[in-house]
Each structure stands twice: as C-alpha cells, then as structure tokens.
A and B are shown apart, each in its own frame.
Chain A
Amino acid sequence: GVTQSPTHLIKTRGQQVTLRCSSQSGHNTVSWYQQALGQGPQFIFQYYRKEENGRGNFPPRFSGLQFPNDSSELNVNALELDDSALYLCASSLGMNTEAFFGQGTRLTVV
C-alpha cells in the first residue's frame, strides 16, 4: 500500500517541513493533496516519472521530489497558519489511472 510519514507534525510559522510518501510498488506516479478541516482534498501537484506533471493553485513554496525507489517528498517552505491541514499522498500506475491514497500526515502550524 501507500505509506506516509510522519502521521502527525507540529511546526512553527515560518519554518520548513518535509513530508514523505512511499508509493505502492511499481507505481510511477505520485500526487499530493491538501485537505483542510471539513473540506474536500485540494490537488497540489503530480509527479510522473520524476517530473512535475501538473500543479494546482498552490504557491512555489510548495515543492516536491520523486525518487527512483518509489518514494517521494512534499516540501513546504515559510509555513503559514493556513497550511495546517491533512496532507494526502496518492500513487498510481499512470497519470490518470485509479489512485491509491495513504493515511495522510496531519500538519499543525502554530
């Protein structure tokens, strides 16, 4: 399955954070979503074969990496209070095939 780490994280405004995701074996595509409390997930970006393939309405301080070993990272710089949310990683075999989601990382910015 898809695993994310850590499960919970508390950071201070202005800091930087790195969230990690381990994709399902063999999947070449990873997508990241942000879910604020009481809202549906919002698309951040997608990486396909280690290249950013599409991006939602998020500023450049949200960036990502995809590694050869089926792992990926979401980096957020200059954290703001509004960045507090559940961050979900989803992996798939292809850009528009069924995606499988991890359990998420709950980020709290204080």
Chain B
Amino acid sequence: KAGVTQTPRYLIKTRGQQVTLSCSPISGHRSVSWYQQTPGQGLQFLFEYFSETQRNKGNFPGRFSGRQFSNSRSEMNVSTLELGDSALYLCASSLGRARGTQYFGPGTRLTVL
C-alpha cells in the first residue's frame, strides 16, 4: 500500500506570496492532519480534517488554511508569506479520527526569502 505523499517536496517563495501544498493520504484513510516543523518550535499541530470537515485547529494565524476533498486528499494554503513561515510542513493520515496512530509523509520544505 502506498504511503502518504506530499507535493511539492521543495518550494522557494518570497515574502507576501501565497503557497498551496498538497497531501494524498494512505488509501482508505479519512483523516489528514498538518504540522509545521521548525528548529526553534519543533513539531506543531496546524489542523486536522476528517470527511472534508476541519475537526481541530492549532494556534496559527488565519493566513494558514486548509481543505479536504471527497477523495480525502488535502491541501494547505498559506497566504501573505512571512520569513518565519520557512519550515518543513508535514502531513499525516490515519484511518479514523486522528486520536493516535498517524502516518507521516516526507514533508514539503518551504523556504521564504
């Protein structure tokens, strides 16, 4: 069974631009969660989607948004990029609600110049 895939793997943007990241969960998994990983803050929860509905949200500004499609694929959008948004963005999927076991993708490395 294929794992979680994320595209693109690497991205370079400039301040003020917006970016969309994509995540395809493991086949049959209905929950997708997004995380931001930085050296200073570690792994921080962004949001969780289950059956196309946002079920949980972390403490990030409204510039960070996401959505989930009927096939469980998810996208994450960051508008008006700031230098501090440079990070590894990780997507994880789980069979049901993300109460425990989650499987991560390789991440998208975003660099904001």
The finding on whether chains A and B are genuine partners in a shared complex, rather than unrelated, reads no
* A→B interface (CB under 8 Å): none
